[in-house]
Amino acid sequence: MRRILATLCIALLAVAAGYKVVYGRNGMIVYKAKRAEYQHLQQDIADENQRHQELEDRVRSLQSDPKAIEKEAREQLGYVRPGEKILVQRPPRVDVHAAAAVAQSQPVAP
């Protein structure tokens, strides 16, 4: 009887230790989740470093490359060279009567 009781106690301790190793505060489940989060954060850091490098390259080109400076001046500020003509496309006019008729013909959602 004593042997059976000792074996049961050891088995119970082994099960409790195994449960703690797998599901405990720092168990395998938590470890895998933390490892996945770590890998995700490492990827985010790599992406941000790449973006930072691209922005540094852009700043460097805007400080020294005349073509990049001209491109930004044309796109952002709307600058043109003397003698150039600008073509502006007007947005299409909305027919108020047709829009009202379409709005009236659509059923009302409940």
Q: What is the pLDDT of residue 81?
A: 86
Residue 31 has pLDDT above 70, yes or no: yes
List CB contacts of 80: < 8 A, sequence separation 6 or more.
Answer: 74, 86
53 against 108, higher pLDDT: 53
Q: What pLDDT is stored for residue 105 in this prediction?
A: 66
Q: Is 82 exposed, middle or buried (0-12, 13-18, 19+ CB in 10 A)?
A: exposed
Residue 86 in contact with residue 80, Cβ under 8 Å? yes
Report CA 106 to chain centroid distance, whole Å: 37
Query: Which residues, other chains included, contact 22 with Cβ-Cβ below 8 Å and sequence gap of 6+?
Result: 28, 29
- Report if pTM > 0.85: no
Q: Looking at residues 102-110, what average pLDDT do you find?
A: 62
The predicted-structure confidence for 45-77, as pLDDT tens digits, reads as follows 999 999 999 999 999 999 999 999 989 888 888
